[in-house]
Amino acid sequence: MCGIVGYIGKRDAYPVILNGLKRLEYRGYDSAGIALYDGSTIQLCKTKGKVADLEKKVSEEMATKGNLGIGHTRWATHGIPNDINSHPHFSNSGDLVIIHNGIIENYASIKKELINRGYTFYSDTDTEVLVNLIEDIKKNENVKLGKAVQIALNQVVGAYAIALFDKNKPDEIVVAKLGSPLAIGIGTDEFFVASDASPFIEFTNNAIYLEDEEMAIIRLVREIKIRKVKDDSIVAPYIQELQLNIEQIEKGGYDHFMLKEIYEQPSVIKDTYRGRLLADKGIIRLGGLEDYIEKFINADRIIIVACGTSWHAGLVAEYIFEDWARIPVEVEYASEFRYRNPVITEKDVVIAISQSGETADTLAAIKLAKEKGAFVYGICNVVGSTISRATHSGTYTHAGPEIGVASTKAFTTQITVLTMIALKLAKIKGTISQTDYMVHLRELELIPTKVESALSKNDAIEKIALLFKDATNFLYLGRGYNFPVALEGALKLKEISYIHAEGYPAAEMKHGPIALIDEHMPIVVIAINSNHYEKVVSNIQEIKSRKGKIIAVVTEGDTVVRELADYIMEVPYTPETLSPLVTTIPLQLLSYHIALMLNRNVDQPRNLAKAVTVE
């Protein structure tokens, strides 16, 4: 995820773009850049760091003249965050300047071709490839910028929201969208371009939201031409009147980042497997894994180190790896691992999981594992983060910035990556049947739709939250793959609502926690269709006979648990191996609503920080 802003009109473009970037910083904040054009010279400034760093650099190094400009705040995907990889990017001639939010999946092959044709690349980005492809087409086919953009976009695979201009056309910006958002603000004799309307809301309420595979040529003479990228057909612009305030817009209309991030899960899970999972062809391709596959296959065991929610994702992985790939797995709290003189050998593979990539305990565990000769693989969300650099190799989740302190989309995207790794290893080792392998690839592709369906039950969950918001304790129970989900559900509730909650394997209840059960104790039980269903039903009976209040997560259509439980939260049927990706959704929503009803600071709960960079 990145934020893009553009302006063409009568004002100085710089303050409009700078303020716009500040408002879009929630979309990415590892680097930022700006290009301004005054009709004769293009001024460009970019830097690793936040928009504030860019502002400082501009004040020291750049003239801020110009009524046309584009700016970008980056969430790195291709190439680590540094000055060179920051946007905007020039084409080789220096005539075209582009900003891009998205991923060009086939950039490597296009880059190779362009290099053969004499192009030079200065950054590691897919974006620089795109701008040079456009330049190449424009030159060789002798077409205008808009046409060249259209031809180029028909050659690329991936997602994009782009804005670019040509030094030879000081009155024009070209934009296009597929997958990533793009809004055009329409003022009087001026136009704005942005990832959402927040950069221009104080200037105009009129906006056009481009649809996928649409492009627009925006000319200063108050003219916008929208066309379909595929067939060049003209689209009549639909101008909406916005009725939003800035804060609402930054949160995409949601009241909190956490809620927004919960609802983003269908799309970010898709982003995480896009280009890596080719279900029809039976292929899983993970860049960071291909060169090290032998290390995994020959490993004596896999040790997973992580903290908090990432540790819970690791626990899910333990089930998946052992089930499918038949590799022994140990899951360790990074904070314990680093201090307990663990036995590690060169035959061990250590997987470090971290959303932020900055967690101090996980980083220390990685250092220890490396000192002892283990191969260390990272699964991080933040590109270029310390952990992603400290590991030998790894895979990024593509969850986009997670702002809410309570991890939600990081959890499901981590499990998505871990599932792909496990399936790939199982396939190579021959420990999974071809049928099971293919079924699971297809099922993984269906997860976004199933998550959407689980999200659609929000209203029912909100009603349950209202009934239990004043409880002082909660128990969460699950078995097998859903035991870690019970732990995660309890963690979500305690960290944002401050209600005490404990997660347990359902079978362990009788070894102690059962003493807590009375008519005041709400117990969330994950009781979906699975190998453990009958056993979980027995656990529910045990709770019921002690008058505990049962809130059950059940598979749609379930009749048995529906009869026994006091309240149910339904999720669509999902194979047990993939079910944590879906069963976790109602638990996230339940915590969110309870916290909200208790007037807690949902996005920034007390005493917590998004990245725990201290011991």
What is the identity of the amino acid at 561?
V
Distances from the Cα of 12 to the Cαs of 170, 184, 517, in angstroms? 14, 18, 66
Angle 399-403-409 from CA coordinates, rounded to 5°: 35
> In this structure, what token pair is assigned to residue 108?
């490597």
Compute the least distance from the CB of residue 75 to ligand M6R, in Å: 15
**How far from chain centre, in Å, is Cα 346?**
33
Residue positions annotated with a catalytic role: 2, 610
Pick between residue 101 and residue 310 the one whose CB is nearest to ligand M6R: 310
Pick between residue 111 and residue 492 the one whose CB is nearest to ligand M6R: 492
Distances from the Cα of 600 to the Cαs of 271, 309, 603, in angstroms? 31, 20, 9
Compute the least distance from the CB of residue 381 to ligand M6R, in Å: 8
Compute the least distance from the CB of residue 365 to ligand M6R, in Å: 11
Pick between residue 354 and residue 497 the one whose CB is nearest to ligand M6R: 354
Pick between residue 195 and residue 413 the one whose CB is nearest to ligand M6R: 413
**How would you write 41-52 as a 3-class SS string?**
CEEEEEEECCHH
Contact by Cβ (8 Å): 405, 605: yes
Pick between residue 404 and residue 448 the one whose CB is nearest to ligand M6R: 404
Compute the least distance from the CB of residue 356 to ligand M6R, in Å: 3
Contacts of 486 (CB under 8 A, 6+ apart): 476, 477, 478, 503, 504, 505, 506, 524, 526
d(CA 6, CA 151) in angstroms, rounded, equals 22
> In this structure, what token pair is assigned to residue 317?
């992985």
Pick between residue 131 and residue 594 the one whose CB is nearest to ligand M6R: 594
Distances from the Cα of 87 to the Cαs of 56, 90, 180, in angstroms? 17, 9, 16
Please give the residue ranges that form the binding site for ligand M6R (CB under 6 A).
307-310, 354-356, 359, 362, 405-407, 491, 495, 608, 611-612
Compute the least distance from the CB of residue 602 to ligand M6R, in Å: 12
Task: Label the pairing between strands 240-241 and 206-209.
Answer: antiparallel
Phi/psi of residue 581, nearest 5 degrees: -65, -20
d(CA 216, CA 239) in angstroms, rounded, equals 13
Compute the least distance from the CB of residue 402 to ligand M6R, in Å: 8
